[in-house]
Every structure is written in structure tokens, then in C-alpha cells.
Structure 1
């Protein structure tokens, strides 16, 4: 019987196939939270989802016809942000991928000091003097700035996914706002106080895409958003965007030996164009939005008079956040219409110096990142766009009260904090690439 069976070779052996070890359910659930080499992971998506929610709460007027920052939803995004940010930072810390603390604090320390000062002063104002309109929101949201920066992993290969996600959020939000604004064409100034958000999204689209038709579309949508909105701040930001695109296009086409001369000429050209636009505004201001100068000048005068009473450290953030404006028939308690003047009024020269120095440090870091990523088109488009976002946000909250509104605060400081983290990672990678 055995002779009928086929004989097997003597040296034949059966090896057991190696299988990957099975993982417990808890390990499989935690796996998406680990830092990966490719796209965004679970907690990163959650963090950017909260940012997207803050965008849509900020854009609620053109989208839904309701300013959600004046409702109980003002701090809804912050309630979600706390646990999401803590979970994400814990994952980065466990995987040793968190940004080093020293460079983050080296950039953010002036704004951290300002936030701490605002929190202490506001706590005194709220619990000792029963102030309802304190600066606790400003201090709380600003204090999160270094945590946003630490939320970006320090691995350079991850930056591409972050840039794609952030650019997508910007363009999506701007497009949605333009559609909502167009639908509510009969409602004036639906983009009031959010002009910089909409313009920055189309500005980012212009630099991120390579197709010339899409670039033209981005410019058309940017112009359309400003024209439909009919607000002076929107026209100022539109002029800034077009001047940047025009001068930067010439800069990129020149040899390095000519860029110094071109830079000087671009500065002169920008000053001349800005002066001409200002003169044209005063010449034809009856046909343009007024900017409500009577209310603004009255509020500015009241804020400056308070600053003169204590010019070094201001009120220490223990006073209220608004001013009394007396109209023809009533007295209204309204914001100063300039967050920069509010910082000067409550923090004095010390507070304004901390804010200006911290904001300038972020700008310089982003500018260095722009130069370090010239060979990476998408990352470079992101850093150029977030630098523009930073400048136009400053213009907007210098002319409007933004820094006490929850969604606006998350949009501004989260974008700048993430940009700080991404810039530090990009500069670290560029420095490593230069070493032999």
C-alpha cells in the first residue's frame, strides 16, 4: 500500500508562514492616533475639524443669516477644542513627536505674557468689581497659542498633509461664504469683520493651484466678494492682495542680482499706489462705504483719553471692554472698534509692546519659512498665504472688534499657532538638508 504513495524528497521541510501578531481591540482603536508617515491621523482630523467648525461659526452671517458669536454658541468650539487638543498633545508626547518647547516659547513668549496679564486683570475685574465685559476670553484663547504650535509633529514629511488640509479648509470656507453672500445679496455687509477670512482663502487658492484658469477664477471670486460686500475694510484687503500678487510675480521672475533694486522699486510703487488710493477715496467717498467715522472717532477718542490717564501699563485689564457712545437719543455701550487701541488702553505701552513684538516674531518666522520652502511649491503657497492672513487679520482687528469673539479667536490664533509649529519644522528640515 505504501509503495503506491508518491515519495517525497528527504530534504523537504514545511515552514510555518509568519503571521503578524494579533492586536487587542484597544490597540486597534488607538492605532489611528499614532503619528504616521503619511496623511493626517485621527486626533489631527479632530483638531482640524474643530478649526473648521470655528470657521463656519465665524462665517455664520453669510451662511445662515445669524451671527452665532452673539448667541450661546460663541464658545461652543472652545468646549470641543479643550479635550481634542489635550488628547492630540498626549499622543504626540507619548510618541515623542511633539515640538520642542524651547523654540515654541522663544517665538510665543511675548503673547503668552500678555495673555497671562489679561487673565489676571480680567479675573480681578470679574470677581472683585463685578465686570461682565472682561477680557477673560481674549486671555484664554491667546494662551492656547503655544499649544497649537506644539500640535504639529516635528517630522518634516508630515507637513505636506497639514498644508493640504489647512488650504482645503480656507478655500472651502471662502467659497461657502461667497455663495452665502451672493444668495443674501439684498442684506448689506454680510462679510463684515470676516473680509480677511474670505480674501485669505482665495489668496491661498491663487498660490496653491498651477492652472492659470483656476488662478483667474480665484482672483475673480476675491474681487466679487469685496464688491458684493461693499465695506471699506474689504476694499483695503483686496488692494493688499492684488499689490502682493503683482509685486511678487515680478520678484519671482528676476535674477537674484536684480532683486535688491526691484525690492526698493516695489516699496516705492506700493507707497505711491496706496497714497493714490487714499486720495481717490477722499475724492469720491460719497460713492464709497463710509466706515462709520462718527462712531469710530468718538470711540477712539474715549479709548485714547483712558490711555493718557495711565500710559505705561494702562488699566491692567480691570476695566470693561467697551465705551459709552452717546447718540442723538440714547447712550450705547459698544466696543472700541479697534482691538489694537483696546490693548493700548488696557495694557498701556507695555501691553502694546508685548503684542507688537510677539506678532512681529511670528511674522519673521513665517517669512523665513517662505524663503526656506521655495523648492516645495505647496508648502511655500501655504506659508505665503498664512503670512498674508496674519497681516490682513491685523488690519481687520485694528479697525474692528474681533478679539472678544470666540470663533474669531480660534480662527486667528489656531491658524497662527499651527503656522508657527509648521514653520519651525520646515526650518529645522531646511537646516538639516544644508548640513553635509
Structure 2
């Protein structure tokens, strides 16, 4: 093959390993960063509480989305079929979001209820499928995902820093699943002992500074994942299968000893841990369960207030109208099985796809895990540990925290191909080429002479 014919058949790649973002994609990253700032609230400014600034990140996210959609539809019409793939990925959650929005609009305009579930439904669609479509249709999807990851880690580090300065305050309340996992990225992605030790230290500090039970649970989930992931990859790469199996058995015993150690540590320190205001929670949880039992099929169809008047005792807040502090119970009480089933199926489908991709290294034993797999593990941990946090806190009932949660689901799905399989074989093994596989290079059109030279040269 001649030199010219060889060059003519090569894919076009960016001159730089990190191509620049388009202006509209940059606006999406800025909107996501603002949502993170509003949710984590590292400076305790409580901008999410003020009427003037409460919805600023959401408005910017909608504006950036509209600009991106307009540009792609007008100048890149070949990307329209990608919408079908995104809808298939989020089909169950789209049904859930439509149900929530429909009931909330009826509550807002027909029943004059201000505190509706409208933002919960909008966040599902805007944060999840819309962001996934924007990433998959971007000219530089890997750069866009990487930029969002940097924003998540940067804001989380800022939150931990400020919470350490103001030790004991809860600056990122109900966002432990995002902050702790993000600052643990050196532990998840690193290979050098000092790098991994710094990630473990930051994760521990992020849990201790606010002193929240849910934070300690997320901390244990992160450490458990790192331990199991390292054990399975190391033993899968062992040529001696018997020795690898014995190492896994030993690892299982060490894991059980670790669980016993955690139980003993909890018993020894529970007097110094927060009680979680169990009296308040049990009362509101019982109210939600009673509502579900009264109407288990569709609940209140989300045509009701997202907060309730708490009459058991006076709480130390500006109002007695408070949320249930459990998103799963809220969904059951207000949506019944018609709301809970698509919610559960939608979450399990995307988590299962990410789980299958991550555990392929447990079979192949590939230890060269690139940044793409580390990002996938980070977003998978955010999504899975977020289920624990939302069981005891109103994550989905808050505009910014809900958007951030579903945005992380879009990042996770973006690291998978449309059918839930790896975008390339290198992604499954965690190769550094995984990022390049997302760039979707196109071949240079060849002239007839170049084709003739190629055929002659064999």
C-alpha cells in the first residue's frame, strides 16, 4: 500500500487528545456546574432557598438545552434517530416522569397547590434522557463527559474543604452520595499507594466532617466496592485458578470480619453519632405508608402537596410544612404501584447495564483500567449509593439534588453504547483508548485513484 493510499484510509481524529467543546456544549457544562453548586452549597449561601435565585440553574439548563437542540436539528439532521435510542434507554423513567408531571400540573393549576412534585418530574427528563441525548450527539462526547466529571469532583472537593473548615455543619446535606464518591476518585481510579491513600482520606474526611449516618453508609459502600473490585480483578488475572479461588474465599472471610468490625465500632460509638431524628421520621413514614395502603394502585396520582404539615411537635425550622424525607415512600404514597414500578424498572435497567460492563474486568482480569472505567464506576456508585441516601432524605424532591442525581445517570449511560454494551472492546477492558472510542471518527472520502492504488498494493 502506498503512503498516500494509507493516509486516505485512516480515520480523521482530532489534532489534540482533548478537543475543545462547542459553545453550546460548554453552556451545558456551566449549567451542570451551577446545579452542583446550588445542591452542594459549599458556602452555605442557600441560593436554592431564595425565590430570585432558586431556579436560575434550571433556567440556564433549559436555555442551554434549547440552543443545543436547535443547532443539532438545523445543522446535523442525521442525529435525529439517536433520540429513539435514548428513549429506549429511559423508557420506564420517561413514563414515571410523565406521570409525575401530569399529576403535578393538575395539582398546580386545578387545585392551586404551590408545593407540587413538578420539579421531581422535570428533573427526571431534563437531567437524564435530555442530557444523554446531548452527550451522544455531541461532536466531542468524551470531552463533554470528562468536563462534567471534573466539575463534579471540583465542586465536591470545595464542599469537603468548606465543611472541614466549618466542622460539624451539614453543608452537603442529602448529597453525600455525590460528594463522598467524587472525592474518592483517586481511590477508585488510582494505582499508586499514595494516590489511593489520599482518596481514602478525603472520603473519610467527607463523611466525618458533617457527621451524618447516611454519609458513613456511603463511605462503607465506597470502600466495599474498591475492596471487591480489586479482589475480583486480581484473582481473575491469576493463571492458577485454584489459587485465585482460594484468594476469593479468603477475601470473603476478610469482608465478613470487616462487617463485624463495623458493627462493633458502631456499638462503641453510637452515643456520639446523630440519632437521625427517628421520632420525626417514623411519624412521617407512617403517614406515607397509610396513604399507600389507602390507594395502593395510583396513590394520589401526584396531584397533591409535596410537603405536609407536621403536627407532632414544633421543629426548628421556619415552617412546619416539611417533606416525608423518604423518596421511595413518597413515590409509593403519591404514585402507588403505577408510579413505583416504572421508577424501579427504569433504575434497575440502567444500573444493570453499568454493572455488566464493570464486572467484565472480573472475568478478563484486565487491570489496566483507564479513566473511562473509573468514571463509569464513580457514576455507578453515585447512583447506587444514592438509593440509600434518598431512602432517608428528600433527594428527588429537591430541584438541584434531583437534577444532579439524574444527570449522573446520563453520564453513566453515556459511557455505554445505545444498547447497553461497551462502545468499543477497549471500553470493557478499561483501556486508555476507551475515551477515543467515544469520539466517533469518520473516514476521509477517497478518490478513485486512491482506491485503485489501494487495490494494486493489496
> Any residues of structure 2 matched to 1:176-215 within 5 Å, and which?
176-185=158-167, 188-215=169-196
Deviation at 1:369, TM superposition (A): 3.8
TM-score, normalised to structure 2, is 0.78
Q: Report the counterpart of residue 279 of structure 2 in structure 1.
A: 294
Name the CA shift for 1:377/1:401 in 2 (closer, same or farther; >3 Å): same
Q: Report the counterpart of residue 28 of structure 1 in structure 2.
A: none
1:358 matches 2:346: yes
Question: Pick from 291, 297, 302: which aligns with 1:312?
Answer: 297
Question: Pick from 391, 399, 405: which aligns with 2:398?
Answer: 405
Q: Report the counterpart of residue 44 of structure 2 in structure 1.
A: 65
Question: Pick from 307, 328, 336: which aligns with 1:322?
Answer: 307
Deviation at 1:129, TM superposition (A): 1.5
1:248 matches 2:229: yes
> Any residues of structure 2 matched to 1:67-216 within 5 Å, and which?
67-72=46-51, 73-93=53-73, 94-95=75-76, 96-97=78-79, 100-144=82-126, 145-153=128-136, 158-185=140-167, 188-216=169-197
SS at match of 1:311: coil
- Indicate if the aligned counterparts of 1:43 and 1:88 stay in contact, CA closer than 8 A: yes
Name the CA shift for 1:48/1:267 in 2 (closer, same or farther; >3 Å): farther
- Equivalents in 1 of 2:369, 2:195: separation in Å? 20
Residue by residue over 1:111-133, the C-alpha shift from the partner in whole angstroms, topping out at 9 and shown as x without a partner, is 11111111111111112221121
Deviation at 1:263, TM superposition (A): 7.1
- Equivalents in 2 of 1:318, 1:262: separation in Å? 54
1:343 matches 2:331: yes
Deviation at 1:212, TM superposition (A): 2.9
- Equivalents in 1 of 2:59, 2:137: separation in Å? 27
1:45 matches 2:26: yes
Q: Report the counterpart of residue 22 of structure 1 in structure 2.
A: none
- Equivalents in 2 of 1:207, 1:312: separation in Å? 42
SS at match of 2:337: helix
Question: Pick from 416, 419, 429: which aligns with 2:423?
Answer: 429
SS at match of 1:138: helix
Deviates more, 1:244-253 or 1:81-90: 81-90
- Equivalents in 2 of 1:327, 1:232: separation in Å? 23
1:386 matches 2:368: no
SS at match of 1:192: coil
Residue by residue over 1:224-247, the C-alpha shift from the partner in whole angstroms, topping out at 9 and shown as x without a partner, is 111121111111111111111111
Bigger radius of gyration: 1
Deviates more, 1:197-206 or 1:392-401: 197-206
Name the CA shift for 1:251/1:432 in 2 (closer, same or farther; >3 Å): closer
Higher helix proportion, which one?
1
- Equivalents in 2 of 1:260, 1:74: separation in Å? 54
Deviation at 1:265, TM superposition (A): 7.8
Name the CA shift for 1:370/1:158 in 2 (closer, same or farther; >3 Å): farther
**Corresponding pairs, count:** 395
Question: Pick from 205, 213, 229: which aligns with 1:232?
Answer: 213
> Any residues of structure 2 matched to 1:369-384 within 5 Å, and which?
369-371=357-359, 377-384=370-377
Name the CA shift for 1:206/1:355 in 2 (closer, same or farther; >3 Å): same
- Indicate if the aligned counterparts of 1:138 and 1:403 stay in contact, CA closer than 8 A: yes
- Equivalents in 2 of 1:64, 1:125: separation in Å? 34
- Equivalents in 2 of 1:303, 1:313: separation in Å? 13
- Indicate if the aligned counterparts of 2:68 and 2:134 stay in contact, CA closer than 8 A: yes
- Equivalents in 2 of 1:427, 1:220: separation in Å? 34
- Indicate if the aligned counterparts of 1:99 and 1:153 stay in contact, CA closer than 8 A: no
Name the CA shift for 1:361/1:334 in 2 (closer, same or farther; >3 Å): same
- Indicate if the aligned counterparts of 1:206 and 1:219 stay in contact, CA closer than 8 A: yes
Deviates more, 1:339-348 or 1:201-210: 201-210
SS at match of 1:401: coil
Q: Report the counterpart of residue 16 of structure 1 in structure 2.
A: none
Residue by residue over 1:90-113, the C-alpha shift from the partner in whole angstroms, topping out at 9 and shown as x without a partner, is 333433356722332122011111
Deviates more, 1:412-421 or 1:424-433: 424-433
Name the CA shift for 1:44/1:432 in 2 (closer, same or farther; >3 Å): same
